Amino acid sequence: MRTIIVSVVIAITWAETVEAGKTRFGVRGDQVLLNGEPFKIIGLRCSNALISDQTARQLIDQLPVYRASGINAVSVFFMGSRFGDVKGYRPDATLDPACAARMGRIIDAADEQGMIVVVGCLYWSTSRAKEVLAGRWKQEDANRAVANTVRWLSQHDYRNVFVDVDNEGMAHDATGWSIAEMIEAGHAVDPSIMLAYNDGDAPPESADLHVHHSPKVPGKPWLDTEATPGRSTPGGYWGSYSKRTHQRTKGAYYNYSRIGRYTEKMKAEQMRRTADEVERYNGHML
């Protein structure tokens, strides 16, 4: 079966034009705001951009291209993911300085383009990023990691951001840690930094917005921050297709092998879903 690398070009009418400079993300009711005005998020998930200085630079160099295509957001994780094993948190829950410096350069570059960055905290899952944390961290360590992330964002006055504290609730599912406590720890540092809930359980009232796996809650924004073709799309993207050639590593770890590679039918379904969710919700991130 022939595959293609997906290319996304969205109508600019879905994205607000903003001048370079301080770009501010906010929430009001069930709307997300860009510099105080409602807008729709059109984004790309770039979770492993902190692997190295080179990968961070590659993303930064692409931001003008993305922006010219109508994209106004990217997501980048301090911890994770299955591919890069980015270890952005040290055992004491402080930020790794090299990862923080890369994240800062990405946030600054996005700000210059009038774009926002979804800053991911915990990406637990099967990633080796947690290998020195699992079994040692407790709830208070997870809380401290989120609080330290918010503190770092606040100290640098990064306002073109919101935070996904626990990707798909994976840390919560594996350990039983409360995501509500993580959110409260972040809000205690700076309540003006918006914190997102991303798990299938009922969301805490303290979450500023809801993303991806979260149920939709009346009066609060929701968007999919990690979208792929629907399960009914021919080819089974998250099943046999994306894992077709994965290799187990020492019996304990594996990667997907076809991330971002779509058949024509998958690409058409992704474009349909993007248009639908941008119209009905607060945006869509591929």
Count Cβ atoms below 10 Å from residue 27 Cβ, excluding itself.
18
Per-residue confidence (pLDDT) for residue 229, from 0 to 100: 80
Q: How far apart are CA 23 and CA 245, in angstroms?
A: 41
Residues 41 and 27 sit within 8 Å (Cβ to Cβ) = no
Q: Band the pLDDT of 18: cuts 50, 70, 90.
A: low
Phi, psi at 77, each rounded to 5°: -110, 135
Average pLDDT of the segment spanning 135-149: 97
Q: Parallel, antiparallel, or unpaired: how do β-strands 25-28 and 31-34 relate? A: antiparallel
- In this structure, which amino acid lies at residue 189? V
Task: Categorise residue 212: left if φ over 0, alpha if ψ from -120 to 50, beta otherwise.
Answer: left
Per-residue confidence (pLDDT) for residue 4, from 0 to 100: 37
Taking 80 as the threshold, does the pLDDT of residue 246 lie above it?
Answer: no
CB contact set of 249 (below 8 Å; sequence gap of 6+): 255
Preceding amide of 257 cis, omega within 30: no
For the segment 59-96, what is each residue's pLDDT rounded down to a tens digit? 999 999 999 999 999 999 999 776 678 999 999 999 99
CB contact set of 128 (below 8 Å; sequence gap of 6+): 85, 253
The residue among 267 and 21 whose pLDDT is bigger is: 267
Q: How far apart are CA 177 and CA 144, in angstroms?
A: 12
Q: How far apart are CA 89 and CA 40, in angstroms?
A: 31
CB contact set of 172 (below 8 Å; sequence gap of 6+): 166, 178, 179, 199, 201
For the segment 146-170, what is each residue's pLDDT rounded down to a tens digit? 999 999 999 999 999 999 999 999 9
Phi, psi at 109, each rounded to 5°: -65, -40
Q: Which of 3-7, 130-134, 255-259 has the highest mean pLDDT?
A: 130-134
Per-residue confidence (pLDDT) for residue 237, from 0 to 100: 79
For the segment 175-232, what is each residue's pLDDT rounded down to a tens digit? 999 999 999 999 999 999 999 999 999 999 999 999 999 999 999 999 999 988 877 7
Query: What burial letters (b/e) apply to 77-88, b meaning 16+ CB within 10 Å?
Result: bbbbbbebbbbb
What tokens appear for 97 in the block?
């300085």
Per-residue confidence (pLDDT) for residue 19, from 0 to 100: 53
Half-sphere exposure of 10 (CA within 13 A, CB side): 29
Average pLDDT of the segment spanning 266-275: 90
Average pLDDT of the segment spanning 40-55: 94
Helix (H, G, I), strand (E, B) or coil at 66: helix
Average pLDDT of the segment spanning 30-48: 96
